[in-house]
Structure 1
Amino acid sequence: MAADSREIRRRYDRLAPWFDGLESVLEGLFFRRWRKRLWAEVQGQHILEVGVGTGKNFPFYPADARVTAIDFSPNMLTIAQRKRERKGLSAELALMDVQALDYADNCFDTVIASFVFCSVPRPRKGLKELYRVCKPGGQVLLLEHVLSANRIMAALMRLCNPLTVRLFGANINRETVKNVQSCPFRHIYVDPASGDMIKLIRAVK
């Protein structure tokens, strides 16, 4: 694992015990609704969730699908494992970096991630990995924080970004739609209702 990935992982390991509490207000007001909308788009029988974190998406897992979920933070994954056991889920959890997935080409019907690529050191490399493991005709679904299209807000986000990376390991100035467009997907759809700084993206391989 590269040095920058190790540093981000250490930050998430440090935050893991308090992570759900830190995001509880935003989760209740905004994020949970969008997670539900994201998972409603899932298709197929074999699903990969990238960046499972503490397991916030567990309530939305399809009952009739095989779900594999990964995270690069051991401490976050430990919390997810405990939640999985309490909920009686059959999902397979694995410690893995999205920038180097240990899966064969073309093996998942849907690859899904929520609020993950703000913290991936090399996001285009990670997105190319998602493309690689997705089956032809399959889809990659993303719910992501992005840089505002408003110039003043974008300037403020760029100004604050070094602090948010240092404190939380998350970038608030990512241009994730452009990064997805750099991959050879056949079709990319951005939900127009998902707003200026949060985007729901569907990319078909």
Structure 2
Amino acid sequence: MSVNGDKIRQRYDRLAPWFDCLEGFLEGLVFRRLRKKLWAMAEGQHILEVGVGTGKNFSFYPAQARMTAIDFSPKMLEQAQKKRERKQLEVHLDLIDVQSLCYADNSFDTVVASFVFCSVPQPRKGLKEIYRVLKPGGQLLLLEHVLSSNKFMAAVMNVLNPLIVRLVGANINRQTVKNVQACPFRSIFIDPVSSDMIKLIRAVK
């Protein structure tokens, strides 16, 4: 379902104060463990987090890296700023859309995004922007929910998707692996323990 960026931004702005509570159960049960695994692969001196949201990944940031984090929702970024202050964390926060990154080519060693590309209006445009700002040999690390490979489940997800987009601005039927494969990364790895609908992806420039 195609929804413009302004409408998606408004939905995330609306949910920002309650976002952590809304996802609290799944965060504790599944997501936190996967985030930890994702960030354990991050390497390099300068790392970019795309879609920082409320700062759920702050606890996993590498201690020695220079961190930059962005989000397109002002209200989500406000929550991240408050969390940064509470944690006394050194991270530069920017209000930026991944589809139009302002950074120079070959700027980052690693780019990380978790559950972000479900809500990017033009995901391939965002992925190509990430490719541009990655250094040669740099890596993109993604944790994303995707369309099920089970035909019945995929049909259900496709039916429900317009409602989910209207409620929270996220698509539940994205084919993110195919979108990454459409970009010029020289190698792409899918973690073998990834589930049918949640994928941990590593792509190297």
| Same fold, judged at TM 0.5 (above) | yes
1:73 and 2:73 equivalent?
Answer: yes
User: What is the CA deviation profile of residues 123-166 of structure 1, one whole-angstrom value per residue up to 9, with x for unaligned ones?
Assistant: 00000011000000000000001000000000000000000000
**Cross-structure match for 1:126:** 126
Q: What is the one-letter code of the residue matched to 1:27? A: E
Q: How much does 1:194 deviate?
A: 1.3
Q: Is the counterpart of residue 188 in structure 1 residue 188 in structure 2?
A: yes
Give runs of aligned pairs for residues 46-195 of structure 1, distance below 5 A: 46-195=46-195
Give ranges in structure 1 of 5+ residues lacking alignment: none
In 1, the alpha carbon distance for the partners of 2:191 and 2:62 equals: 21
Rounded Cα–Cα distance in structure 2 between residues aligned with 1:183 and 1:43: 21
1:119 deviates by: 0.3
Aligned with 1:193: secondary structure? coil
AA at the equivalent of 1:37 = K
**In 2, distance between residues paired with 1:7 and 1:96?**
16
Give the Cα–Cα distance (whole angstroms) in 1 for the partners of residues 100 and 108 of structure 2: 16
Distance 1:29 1:73 in 2: 26
Q: Counterpart amino acid of 2:192? A: P
Task: State the alpha-carbon separation in 2 of the partners of residues 98 and 19 from structure 1.
Answer: 20
2:202 pairs with 1:202: yes
Gap regions ≥5 residues in structure 2: none
Partners of 2:140 and 2:157 lie apart in 1 by: 26
Query: Per-residue deviation at 1:192?
Result: 1.4
Q: Please give the TM-score of this superposition, normalised by the length of structure 2.
A: 0.98
Find the counterpart in structure 2 of residue 9 from structure 1: 9
In 1: Cα distance, 2:162 partner to 2:51 partner: 22
Which residue does 1:29 correspond to in 2?
A: 29
Q: Name the SS for the 2:180 alignment partner.
A: helix
Q: Which amino acid aligns with 1:39?
A: W
Q: CA separation in 2, counterparts of 1:114 and 1:33?
A: 12
TM-score, normalization by structure 1: 0.98
State the shift of 1:180 in Å.
0.1
What does the per-residue CA deviation read over 1:3-52, in whole Å, with 9 as the maximum and x for residues that have no partner?
Answer: 81111000000000110000000000000000000000001010000000
Q: Secondary structure at the match of 1:192?
A: coil
For the aligned residue pairs, the C-alpha RMSD in angstroms reads: 0.7
How far apart in 2 are the matches of 1:132 and 1:88?
A: 31
Deviations 1:43-95 (A, max 9, x none): 10100000000000000001100000000000000010000011010100000
